[in-house]
Amino acid sequence: MHITPKGRHDMKIGIIGAGNIGGNLTRRLTAVGHDVHVANSRGPQTLSALAQETGATAATAEDAVRGAQVVVVTVPLKAVPALPAGLLDTAADDVAVIDTGNYYPQQRDGKIAGIEDDGLTESRWTERQLGHQVVKAFNGTYAQDIIDKARPSGDPQRVALPIAGDDAAAKQAVTALLDEIGSDTVDAGGQDESWRQQPGTPVYGLAADAAAVRKALDAASPERTAEWRA
Ligand SMILES: NC(=O)c1ccc[n+]([C@@H]2O[C@H](COP(=O)([O-])OP(=O)(O)OC[C@H]3O[C@@H](n4cnc5c(N)ncnc54)[C@H](OP(=O)(O)O)[C@@H]3O)[C@@H](O)[C@H]2O)c1
């Protein structure tokens, strides 16, 4: 569905990862007028098709982040420690960092001890790798829904996405951004509560309104089941 852009905002947004999620966030965020810089692991020369399609700038991770007011980290969890050290140091001082990551120990990531043995939530572990606070968002959203389920504010079919994190100002910025690209948000609490939206929970994969999202968050169990262990 097409949502009328509210005009150019000139907010620099760096997207680290140009796969299923990074690609579709590039599409939506450029569509509403943001200045999107997108990076992958193979280099900007491999992103020319996405850049041409969307008007985003293909960049290195360092260039995508420099001066950015919002950074989206959307790479496989096992790739987070491989991101350049101090990557976020050159972002805007009040940068809001969105983390879309999920731990898939059996299919993709292998064992991450900080999560399984030390009991860190997945996004708390990511914060420690990045040396920066994050807002957990989009992690339970099918990539295609970022395009297909976008609806203007007030539309009865609009979905709500849970966001978790400890930085209230960053959460406010993320809420405004999600509103622009077509969804409501539900504040799911701080990072230590963010297990409520991790894989295997009732809200994971749910595309529903705020009341249903709240109910699903409340019904979550903190236990990490065998399916989500290495
Ligand atoms: N797919 C979904 O529907 C979905 C939904 C919610 C959350 N998630 C989560 O979101 C994250 C991303 O998922 P995805 O499906 O978008 O992944 P994906 O399609 O596999 O894409 C991963 C992207 O990360 C890039 N990347 C890997 N290592 C990098 C590095 N060191 N520096 C810069 N870029 C790097 C890859 O670049 P190259 O291709 O050049 O290697 C690729 O563009 C994962 O944690 C996933 O679990 C996915």
Distance of CA 46 to the CA centre of its chain: 22
Which residues have CB under 8 Å from 174's CB, separation 6+?
Answer: 70, 96, 98, 135, 137, 163, 165, 185
pTM listed for this prediction: 0.97
- pLDDT classification of 9: cutoffs 50, 70, 90: low
Whether residue 7 has pLDDT greater than 60: no
How far apart are alpha carbons 115 and 185 in whole angstroms? 26
Candidate of 40, 197, 204 to mutate for ligand 1, largest count of ligand atoms within 8 Å of Cβ: 40
> Which atom in ligand 1 lies closest to the alpha carbon of residue 75?
24
Q: Is the CB of 210 under 6 A from ligand 1?
A: no
Q: Is the CB of 83 under 6 A from ligand 1?
A: yes
pLDDT in tens, 109-146: 999 999 999 999 999 999 999 999 999 999 999 999 99
How far apart are alpha carbons 16 and 83 in whole angstroms? 9
The alpha helices in 91-209, defined as continuous H runs, are: 113-116, 122-130, 143-148, 168-180
Q: Is the CB of 22 under 6 A from ligand 1?
A: yes
Q: Is the CB of 15 under 6 A from ligand 1?
A: no
Position 10 scores a pLDDT of 81
- Phi, psi dihedrals of residue 12, rounded to the nearest 5°: -80, 125
Residue 21 tokens read as 């999620």
Residue 122 tokens read as 């997945």
Distance of CA 6 to the CA centre of its chain: 22
Ligand 1 centroid – CA 141 distance (Å): 14
Cα→Cα distances 220→82, 115, 181, 211, Å: 31, 18, 27, 15
Candidate of 41, 159, 228 to mutate for ligand 1, largest count of ligand atoms within 8 Å of Cβ: 41
Phi-psi region of 88 (alpha: psi -120 to 50; beta: other; left: phi over 0): alpha
Rg (CA), the chain: 17
Whose Cα sits closest to atom 19 in ligand 1?
19
Mean pLDDT of the chain: 96
Q: Which 3 state secondary structure label does DSSP give 31?
A: helix
Please say whether the beta carbons of 5 and 30 come within 8 A. Answer: no
Q: Is the CB of 26 under 6 A from ligand 1?
A: no
> Which atom in ligand 1 lies closest to the alpha carbon of residue 82?
31
pLDDT in tens, 155-170: 999 999 999 999 999 9
The tally of CA atoms less than 13 A away on the side-chain side of residue 193 is 13
Whose Cα sits closest to atom 7 in ligand 1?
139
Whether residue 85 has pLDDT greater than 80: yes
Residue 107 has what DSSP assignment? I
Whether residue 3 has pLDDT greater than 50: no
Distance of CA 182 to the CA centre of its chain: 15
